[in-house]
Amino acid sequence: MNITRYINTTYLQMGLIYTGLFHSVWLFSTQFEIISGTVSWYLPAGVRLAAFLLLPLASWPLLLFSEKLTHFILFHPGGVLDNTAFLSGSVGWYLVHLFISPAVVCGCVYVFRRRFAAPYIDNVRSTLATLAFGVLISVALGAVFLGRRAIEVQTDLASFLSILFDFSLGDFVGIIVLCPLLFALYTRQYVNKNESTLFITVGTWLLTLVFSSYLYSQNINISYQIKYLAVFPALFLSYRYAVFGSALSCLFIGITAFVVASQSALPPIEHQFYILALCVSCLILGSSINQSSKLNKKLARNNEDLEIAVQNTQALAAKLVALQEDERKRLSRDLHDDFGHRIVDLKLQLSLIDTTRDHDILISKIDALYQAMKKSLGGLRPSGIDTLPIESVIERSDIITTLKRAKINFSFNLSGTPINFNPEQKIHIYRIVQEAVTNSIKYANAKTLSIDISYESQSATFTVADDGAGIPDTIEGTVDAKPTLGLLSMKERAKLIDGTLDITSFTPSGTVVRLSIPTYNIQ
């Protein structure tokens, strides 16, 4: 075993700071307990729990060694404090203090740390778990310390349980008053900017306690009012400053309880439960606010990422649509310029040959081929899309031809003064109308269909309505994804021309596809 892993300068400094703080608050606590009627809070329990929960496991041997060595130096006969009441000479005492209690602390904390990590009070779940663990370790140490004494003096069970309750309650009060602030400071969850509201609230709280003590010296007791007025700044700090505010509130709640206890004859347990109730409320409120803040920040980041993803998707979709149209335009041009020229040339060459039956058949086939090519050209890029108005393009396009071939009873209606759309806008309008008509024929089994174009002062509306079966609810889950892809393509094209696409399905009585385009910015 490498001993340098456990003994180094850093861990030695941790041990010295820990034991200095531990015994300082221990002496502080014992001074409070000699005041009649004061609250019993064992602050060293808070220092111990915070140190073992926060500091590295390898530092534990030096923490324990420093604590026990300092205890012997302070209380052994002839020592600094020379108080044998805290240094029994029995074998049981040495066994409990040097072996059993350290084993209980280290074992319990080790198990807890495997499940939870610092800062321990940053969300509701870890806060409740830490509080429950504080109760558990208080009872466990109380049972060890008091059990040894009960065995030596043969204390009956009822008395032992009563003393154990008081001991554990005092330990847990010390934990809940001091531990949260040590957690917050060690994990840097404090307010790291100039917060005048924080200083004003804390300053007013302290001045109120000082004022209460002054009035008490003048035989005016307002301790009861002070005790419950402290609820407001405690909850305010927890709400405003989350983890750090609730941790700071716990410390000042303990101070408030001590001031009130020193001015009243109420039993200590009443002040202890006041501390526990208010501190638990503040810690849960602070951790809830902190958890909510983290979730809101995470949600905001996710929304930003989602917005970026949507923008990227839209940009990609727009690029794909543009590339698709560019490719169709290129193919249309190539077919027309190359194949069209070749077919015409071939037809001219054949016309020079003597007329025969085979010659006529060949000419007929070439004509059919030419017509098929023209049809393909129309599918790739509608005829007249670059020169004619969109209503004229639609009226003489394959859309109408397809409706006639499908024996659909259709109507084409135009109202208002036509607008001169640019070629890019016209191709998107055309594709949307084409897709709507195709869906009505292929998937809705429509018998009647109308194409209506309406030009108004602020908008142009293109409507395709049919009496078909409508759009199935499960269309996105069908094996044939073409209808779904077609609808997505229509919506994307509408966005590219700043239009609004509204699809209303009245299953099983028809579908209305309406494209509205604002015209105030159309040149």
CA dist 433 and 412 (Å) reads: 12
pLDDT of 324? 66
| pTM (two decimals) | 0.64
Distance of CA 271 to the CA centre of its chain: 39
pLDDT value of position 209: 92
* Distance (Å, whole) CA 478 – CA 475: 5
Please tell me the distance from the alpha carbon of residue 59 to that of residue 46, in angstroms, as a whole number.
Answer: 18
Which position has the token pair 């649509």? 321
CA distances from 399 to 14, 354, 408, 440 (A): 83, 41, 11, 12
Question: Which parts of the chain register pLDDT below 50?
Answer: 474-480
pLDDT tens-digit series, residues 45-57? 999 999 999 999 9
Q: Which long-range contacts (CB under 8 A, 24 or more apart) does 262-268 make?
A: 262/35, 262/37, 262/38, 263/212, 263/213, 263/216, 263/221, 263/223, 264/37, 264/221, 264/223, 264/224, 265/36, 265/37, 266/37, 267/37, 268/37, 268/38, 268/39, 268/40
Six token digits for residue 97? 């203090």
Q: What is the DSSP letter of 163?
A: H
Among 134, 209, 213, 211, which residue's Cα sits nearest to residue 176?
134
Residue 151 CB neighbours (<10 A): 11
* 504: three-class secondary structure by DSSP: strand
Q: 138, 172 in Cβ contact below 8 A?
A: yes
